[in-house]
Structure 1
Amino acid sequence: MADGKADGKPIAPKQPKPSSGFRATRGGTLHRLIAAVLPILVGLFVAVLLNGSRPVERIRNIVFDEFQRLAPRPWTPDLPVRVADIDDTSLAKLGQWPWPRQRLAELTARLLENGAAVVAFDSLFSEPDRLAPAEILAQLPDSPEKQALTKALADSGKLTTDPLEAAFRGNPVVIGLALSNRPASPIVPMKTQFVKLGDDPTPVLPFFSGMILPLEHLRDAAAGMGAINYVPDIDLILRRVPLVFAAGGGPDKVLVPSFAAEALRVAFRTDTPIIKASNASGETNFGGVSSVIAVKIGDAEIPTERDGAVRIRFAGSQPGRILPVWKILAGEVDRDEIDGRIILIGSSAAGLSDLRSTPLDSAVAGVEIHAELIEHAVSGARLARPDWALGAEAVLLTLGGLLIAWLAWRLPPTIAALAAVVMIGGGLFASWYMFLHRDLLFDPVIPGVSWVATYLCMTFVVYRQSEQEKRFVRGAFQRYLSPSVVEQLAADPSRLRLGGETRDVSILFSDARNFTARSEALNAAGVVQFLNALHTPLTAAVLAERGTIDKYIGDGLMAFWNAPLDVSDHADHACAAALTMLAAVPAIDAGLRRVAEAAGRPHTPLAIGIGLNTGSAFVGNMGSDQRFDYSVVGDPVNVAARLEAATKEWGVPIIAAETTRRAAKKHVFVELGAISVRGKSAEMQIFALHGALSGADPDFETFCALHRQVLDAIGARAGDAEAKIGTAVQTRDGARYADFYRRLRARGGHIEVETKKLPGGS
């Protein structure tokens, strides 16, 4: 526009500097977020890992159990352990439990005759035999027959001698005791005297305050006595069995071997097993709490976890390990199955309730767990979490978390996620390898979970940062482009290329009057202040009606509708925006007046002209590969610009083309006549946008009739034209067109007037 330039160049408002409070890079804010979030995340998982909480233990045990199921310990018939099973068939054939001690003595004798290296009873003999002859005689009424029977039994020695004691005496027999926390439970010395190397292991061993002991004569006769206690995990699955317990307090505190450890001691004919603890020769606890490293019984050195428990490498229940008691007593078991072996006597009968769960079996006789432990020890199996496992896992967790965070920051999400999956899979494979080939248990779950959490956390941080950057960029570009254009480009970046499409659009041009004279009275800063004050409310009016700002040309503004987003009634929206812009002029002018008065300079009243046109035009990205604008081009654009220029000539603020008048169903127009447009051979009809149809004056039809008479009189140069003009301008609507009538009459009425009646009666 001619008066939208100064010194031949368009005047544009100076762009404000971006706020220094936000840096749209990943260098500052993201680094601070990483520094704040990542240490907290890693520290949290390290703390959970080192704390040994129950959820951590449960997850860890699930993985380790699955490893055992995938690769159980191989079982071979030559292993030196068998279970003499008091099964349901034995109970059916030999009578219900408890059996007379005489029968158990016979079983012991039969096993020893067949060469058993050790006979170990997985039971408590803490009460007298209810089926002993003396107990039965006590229940009989006094009679000569009772007296005779009593004398006969006394002469044979069966009233005073326990057959089980006789079977135990001088033979490799082990019996069980139970540790408890009952008040006033007795504590007795053990037959086993442990040798301790390194730190005192007592504080880390499972502790009980008392004992439930076998009868004194039986424990004196037996070669060994061990605790039959188990310490199951929270899910009641037995994975670990202690080799040594601590019992009692003060000077009475003793170290108690487990049942399986005592059977091994008796089998190896040793009295002094060795407990190797931290700070023994070649061992260290790195300044931490003392821990048990291994227990050496005879030729077997059994690695343990820090509390002296053995994590058993289970083979599972094996039929070849089981010798039914009834077959032993019936002589139906080959001597090779007994000779030189450790025979554990226990029961798998459901009614005796000595069933346990292991990682491989949901219900197995408790005596088989003792057998599994002995097999584990003598076969050289090693399955343990070393005392340094937690530290190694914490280091791995931290380093892996840092790497995952770095990958999530530097790489696209898909690639970073794939890298995280590879790392987690690598950790799981490494854990499986250490289990399979090194008999060591390293936890792959907690580091893996922490890596996933780190990845998710960092992805969220990067996402939030990216969203902040997008909002910043979107907010910045919305100062240059229509918000609808920005949103469409954000949703579909493929549109950010040269090209476009032909669409039916409505175009608006606006321009301020006397801008050249105004700019001459202002300095550069004043010009910018004026343009900002002008364009801000006018732009708001366009955007409120879903319009797209195309460009600012000094004091001029170009906007269009129905692109990039579809606006079905775009002509009405363009008209509504034009009326809002016109209504905003008084407030803008009042503000400019106050600024001029404050600066002590004269104020030039503000007026604007608006041109509207509707038609088919090309819309899209135009320019070059280096820089382009989203704009609209075509003949309708030129016409809209010419109509805006015509407002100065015809004295009406808003002029619309015939196409806009036909398309805008919610607005009323007043015809102005025909106008010659540069570049077009034929004249075109133009109309003044009068207002919204819903807000039209009730006398608008009357004014339209008077307006038609004025146009006819001026066109015919009738003598009563002035009188008709006077009548028309006396109406409320006609007063707005007084300047137009004056200009039209001064031009001699040479404009051709359309005879078709306007919508709404105009």
Structure 2
Amino acid sequence: MASNRAARLDHALYDLHMRHWGWDPGNDVVIVAIDPASLDALGRWPWPRELHARLIDRLTAAGVRGIGMDVTVSEPNVAHLQNDQAFAAAIARNGRVVMPVFAEAQELGGMLQEILPIPAVAKAAAAMGQVDVAVDDDRVVRSAYLMAGLGSPYWPSLALALARLDRDAGSKVLPGLRDNALDPRSPYLWERDNLVRLRYAGPDGSFGRVSYADVLNGKVPAALLKGRLVLVGATAEGMGDIINTPDGNIPGVEYQANVLAALRRGETILPLNLAGQFLLGASLLLLPLGLYGLPGLHRAWRAAAVSSLACLLLSVLLLRLAHLWWPPAACVLLMLGGTALLWLLARLDVLTRRRQHRRRIATGFAA
């Protein structure tokens, strides 16, 4: 119960801070949105894959830097295999397209399987990336796993795979909190690694967005797309790809855009590991003892209150200045709870001494 209460307080502090710490994502990342206007123009989803082929050719002609397709193509279109081949050919012509991978159980309670694009598309893609979403216990998404996979985390995230196409990331250390417990496990377990906290650019619509149908029909000037990293995905309500963030609901493709832009600009936040949290928390729990007795702090509760504020301030400073997240709630609750317990014990001791004193006085009178 106490740990749940601390987690809720940490979430509230983090969310409050993030709502007032947005950033300008610039125009390097553009979303090609499967929006209501596109559905009206092109018909109900799913669309023929020949449309995806035409879209990619349009983006290729516009000179985009890379394309992340947040669109599932996991089963062949048996009735129109030529559309699958056209889609794969367009991907191959571009040469810088990333396709999604996700884990799903084929039946309720069944074992997870990795769902990959159809073979022709997988072969043509420059890379593939997992689209796992790190959901906290309150159903809010504050983080991302940069690596994940069945048995071991060998798939980069879709955003990371696209970022790696844009530059040589071979020598750069991948950010994120490592899972040091990773070892060969069941090949049917979905393993995650390199956890980063996200600093969202802002609410829904913070990234440049153009309509899929407008791009397809040549209504979007090439200058708006040239040299950009493009993510293609659903933004229309009812398509089931909505993510709850501290800034409100956003479509999954905008979640990927936030991860991509944060990786490119170094805006990811590293969660402090358990050892670091313990050492920092243990040090701060001693702070009330150091403050007690100083001018204005002759009462234990005052020293504890000042120490608690210091914990919160330190957490914010680490977040702002070092891009480190240390959840302070457990330390603050222990500090206040410990002070309250000591005060209670002291009061009980005083009351016990008074009772003993009264008894001695009563005994003396009786004698």
TM range (shorter): 0.7 to 0.9
Instruction: Give 1:99 deviation, angstroms.
Output: 1.0
Relative to structure 1, is the Cα distance of residues 319 and 276 closer, same or farther in structure 2, using a 3 angstrom cutoff?
A: closer
**Preserved contact between residue 84 and residue 345 of structure 1 (Cα < 8 Å):** yes
Q: Where do 1:380-529 residues align within 5 Å?
A: 380-387=266-273, 388-400=275-287, 402-403=289-290, 415-478=299-362
Q: Secondary structure at the match of 1:339?
A: coil
Alpha-carbon distance in 2 for matches of 1:277, 1:319: 24
Instruction: Give 1:477 deviation, angstroms.
Output: 3.4
1:168 matched residue in structure 2: 91
Is 1:92 aligned to 2:50, yes or no?
Answer: no
Q: Secondary structure at the match of 2:129?
A: strand
Is 1:60 aligned to 2:3, yes or no?
Answer: no
Alpha-carbon distance in 1 for matches of 2:52, 2:83: 17
Identity between Structure 1 and Structure 2 (%): 24
Q: Where do 1:338-353 residues align within 5 Å?
A: 338-353=225-240
Alpha-carbon distance in 2 for matches of 1:56, 1:122: 35
**Preserved contact between residue 32 and residue 209 of structure 2 (Cα < 8 Å):** yes
Q: Secondary structure at the match of 2:282?
A: helix
1:267 matched residue in structure 2: 166
Is 1:178 aligned to 2:102, yes or no?
Answer: yes
Number of aligned residue pairs: give it.
348
Q: Secondary structure at the match of 2:141?
A: coil
**Preserved contact between residue 271 and residue 325 of structure 2 (Cα < 8 Å):** yes
- Extract unaligned runs of 5+ from structure 2: 183-191
1:235 matched residue in structure 2: 138
With 115-124 and 56-65 compared, the bigger mean Cα shift is at: 56-65
1:71 matched residue in structure 2: 21
Relative to structure 1, is the Cα distance of residues 440 and 60 closer, same or farther in structure 2, using a 3 angstrom cutoff?
A: same
Per-residue CA deviation, residues 313-333 of structure 1 (Å, 9 max, x unaligned), is 111223552212122223332
Is 1:110 aligned to 2:58, yes or no?
Answer: yes
Alpha-carbon distance in 2 for matches of 1:325, 1:397: 53
**Preserved contact between residue 118 and residue 341 of structure 1 (Cα < 8 Å):** yes
Q: Where do 1:518-557 residues align within 5 Å?
A: none
**Preserved contact between residue 228 and residue 258 of structure 1 (Cα < 8 Å):** yes
Give the aligned residue type for 1:168: I
Is 1:222 aligned to 2:145, yes or no?
Answer: no
* TM-score, normalised relative to structure 1: 0.42
Give the aligned residue type for 2:16: E
Within the candidate set 116, 119, 125, 1:213 is matched to 116
**Preserved contact between residue 104 and residue 164 of structure 1 (Cα < 8 Å):** yes
Give the aligned residue type for 1:67: H
Q: Where do 1:192-207 residues align within 5 Å?
A: none
**Preserved contact between residue 111 and residue 338 of structure 1 (Cα < 8 Å):** yes
Within the candidate set 105, 118, 124, 2:72 is matched to 124
Instruction: Give 1:346 deviation, angstroms.
Output: 0.5
Q: Secondary structure at the match of 1:211?
A: strand
Relative to structure 1, is the Cα distance of residues 319 and 233 closer, same or farther in structure 2, using a 3 angstrom cutoff?
A: closer
Alpha-carbon distance in 2 for matches of 1:277, 1:335: 34
- Extract unaligned runs of 5+ from structure 1: 1-47, 135-158, 184-207, 279-284, 292-305, 482-534, 537-762
Per-residue CA deviation, residues 208-235 of structure 1 (Å, 9 max, x unaligned), is 9631111101100111111112231111
Instruction: Give 1:397 deviation, angstroms.
Output: 4.4
Give the aligned residue type for 2:166: A
Instruction: Give 1:63 deviation, angstroms.
Output: 1.7
Instruction: Give 1:449 deviation, angstroms.
Output: 0.7
Alignment RMSD (CA, Å): 3.1
Per-residue CA deviation, residues 301-360 of structure 1 (Å, 9 max, x unaligned), is xxxxx9312211111223552212122223332333311111000001112110011121
